[in-house]
């Protein structure tokens, strides 16, 4: 039986999991994929350190040893980061190697180029693990749901922020405290910026939107707001309105263009996404035929991510066996415009402090009315030092008009402070 030689680039958390899972499934591979497999080389920075995780004879810190070895036909890139991963993948594809990658940073920016290079060289370039870890989402979009016109892809695609928001909700913590817990438990990195500011989620939204809408969306196209300014009070008030606050990645295909955005959002406690707790991820899809569907599971971690990578490897092996490498490549055959954030429509939740005297509410309501914003709820909370805290929920309105109203309110002497604005599903 044919034996396929595989190289892994990187032996960190994900790389270690991929190596382990490939070894665990080695005996089954002939039955599942029709070929034998062998991990031939692993590229690492520090051979001494890596020797604790894998047989030293497999380890190299020299990329040329891998790219120069024609007997290696599948390369798994799990190093992360833009470079040198980008160069390595491009070189691998140009040399006719099939590539699996979990690198959302790279794919959200250079996806088209990588897929085109794969196509030119009749290679597979697969990246199921780049979005939502172990949860099958890209392949279902490209295959199972391929008969649909997908209008919405929306999800909780960052486990770190979902863990933090769950802690804040269930244990009434403030953001800093919940972040500290997440860091201690290893859910947050030393520099948590990419997670808490929504950049990580934005990369996943770019990749999912590109596939769902058949039109390329890149990281820079995604409007991004993080959760670092969400307070325990916001969550408490949201709860009083029957809502949870989640960091959502939202992509919509509308007649005026694609919306792609990541921001905190109030969602009804009864919504299936509200029950997604801790570090779990979930992606909600709406298609014209399938209606609503949801995919739920572990969005990160050593073995769940390895599950997605090895699924891709098996697909590559099957394609090699059937002579159909490159069978499903780039599916972006449209070129749709990206909508500006000002043009989206949303409901809004806001908290502000205003002077506690007759006529002030009427003045605020007039500002909203003049800008075409209709108020669905207005609740006066506690009063202190002559200022009242007011919570307002609007009906659906174009963001631009809502922001115009905010600009006027901010300039008014009766308003002390607009404390928070959060979009509502």
Q: Quick one: which of 169, 307, 371, 394 contacts a copy of itself (CB under 8 A)?
A: 307
Q: Which residues of 95-113 are buried (b: 16+ CB within 10 A; e: fewer)?
A: eebbbbbbbbbbbbbbbee
Rounded CA gap, 179 and 297, in Å?
A: 22
* 257 marked as part of a ligand binding site: no
How far is Cα 375 from Cα 172, in angstroms, rounded to an integer? 28
Specify the residue, 122 or 381, whose C-beta has the smaller distance to a copy of itself.
122
Alpha-carbon Rg for the chain in angstroms: 24
Query: Active-site residue among 119, 142, 167, 204?
Result: 204
> Per CB under 8 A, does 31 bind a copy of itself?
yes
CA distance to 30, 96, 346, per residue, from 297 (Å)? 28, 33, 28
Using CB under 8 A, which of 117, 319, 346, 371 touches a copy of itself?
Answer: 319
Tell me: does residue 185 bind a copy of itself (CB under 8 A): no
If the CB atoms of residues 86 and 133 are measured against a copy of itself, the closer one turns out to be 133
Binding flags for a copy of itself, 77-116, as an x/- string (CB under 8 A):
----------------------------------------
165 is in an annotated binding site: no
| Contact criterion met (CB below 8 Å) for 67 and 92 | yes
372 interacts with a copy of itself by CB under 8 A: no
Taking the complex as a whole, the smallest distance from the CB of residue 418 to a copy of itself amounts, in Å, to 35
CB of 53 to a copy of itself, least distance (A): 17
Half-sphere exposure of 322 (CA within 13 A, CB side): 12
Angle between helices 399-410 and 360-370 (to 10 degrees): 140
Q: Is 104 annotated as a binding-site member?
A: yes
- Of 236-295, binders to a copy of itself (CB under 8 A) are 272, 275, 287-295
Count other Cβ atoms within 10 Å, centred on residue 361: 17
Strand boundaries in 25-90, DSSP class E: 36-43, 59-60, 72-77
Residue 298 lies near a copy of itself (rule: CB under 8 A): yes
x/- contact string, 124-153, with a copy of itself (CB under 8 A)?
Answer: ----x-----xxx--xx--xxxxxxx----
Confirm whether residue 273 is marked as ligand binding: no
* C-alpha span between 309 and 133 (Å, rounded): 9
DSSP string, 112-132: HHHHHHHHHTT--EE-GGGTT
In contact, 109 and 320? CB cutoff 8 Å: no
Give catalytic status of residue 142 as yes or no. Answer: no
Residue 16 as a binder of a copy of itself (CB under 8 A): the answer is: no
Strands annotated E in 19-146: 36-43, 59-60, 72-77, 98-101, 125-126
What is the smallest separation between the CB atom of 315 and a copy of itself, expressed in angstroms?
6
* Numbered residues of the known binding site for NADPH: 104
Q: Residues interacting with a copy of itself, by CB under 8 A?
A: 17, 21, 24-25, 31-33, 128, 134-136, 139-140, 143-149, 214, 272, 275, 287-298, 301, 303-304, 306-311, 313-315, 318-319, 322-324, 327-328, 331, 333
Active-site residue list: 204
């Amino acid at each position: 039986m044919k034996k396929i030689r595989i190289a892994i680039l990187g032996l960190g958390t994900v790389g270690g999991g991929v190596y382990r899972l490939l070894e665990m499934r080695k005996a089954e591979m002939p039955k599942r994929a029709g070929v034998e497999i062998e991990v031939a080389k692993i590229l690492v920075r520090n051979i001494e350190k890596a020797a604790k995780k894998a047989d030293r004879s497999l380890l190299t810190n020299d990329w040329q040893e891998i790219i120069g070895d024609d007997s290696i036909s599948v390369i798994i890139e799990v190093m992360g980061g833009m470079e040198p991963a980008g160069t390595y993948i491009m070189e691998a594809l140009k040399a006719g190697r099939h590539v699996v990658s979990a690198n959302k940073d790279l794919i959200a920016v250079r996806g088209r180029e990588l897929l085109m290079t794969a196509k030119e060289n009749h290679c597979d370039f697969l990246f199921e693990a780049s979005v939502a870890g172990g949860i099958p989402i890209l392949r279902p979009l490209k295959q199972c749901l391929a008969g649909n016109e997908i209008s919405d892809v929306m999800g909780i695609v960052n486990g770190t922020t979902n863990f933090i928001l769950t802690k804040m909700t269930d244990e009434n913590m403030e953001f800093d405290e919940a972040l500290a817990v997440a860091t201690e438990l290893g859910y947050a990195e030393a520099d948590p910026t990419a997670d808490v500011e929504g950049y990580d989620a934005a990369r996943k939204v770019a990749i999912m939107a590109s596939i769902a809408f058949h039109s390329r969306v890149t990281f820079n196209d995604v409007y991004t707001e993080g959760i670092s300014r969400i307070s325990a009070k916001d969550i408490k008030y949201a709860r009083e309105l029957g809502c949870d606050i989640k960091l959502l990645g939202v992509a919509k295909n509308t007649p005026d263009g694609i919306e792609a955005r990541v921001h905190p959002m109030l969602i009804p406690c009864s919504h299936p996404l509200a029950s997604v707790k801790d570090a779990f991820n979930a992606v909600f899809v709406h298609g014209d035929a399938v209606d609503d569907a949801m995919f739920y599971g572990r969005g990160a971690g050593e073995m769940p991510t390895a599950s997605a990578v090895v699924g891709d490897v098996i697909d590559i092996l099957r394609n090699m066996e059937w002579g159909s490498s490159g069978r499903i490549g780039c599916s972006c055959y449209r070129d749709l415009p990206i909508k500006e954030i000002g043009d989206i429509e949303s409901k809004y939740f806001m908290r502000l402090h205003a002077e506690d005297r007759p006529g002030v509410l009427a003045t605020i309501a007039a500002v909203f009315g003049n800008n075409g914003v209709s108020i669905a709820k207005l609740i006066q909370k506690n009063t202190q030092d002559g200022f009242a805290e007011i919570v307002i929920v609007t009906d659906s309105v174009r963001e631009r008009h809502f922001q115009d109203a905010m600009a006027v309110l901010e300039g008014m002497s009766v308003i002390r402070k607009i404390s928070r604005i959060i979009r509502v599903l």
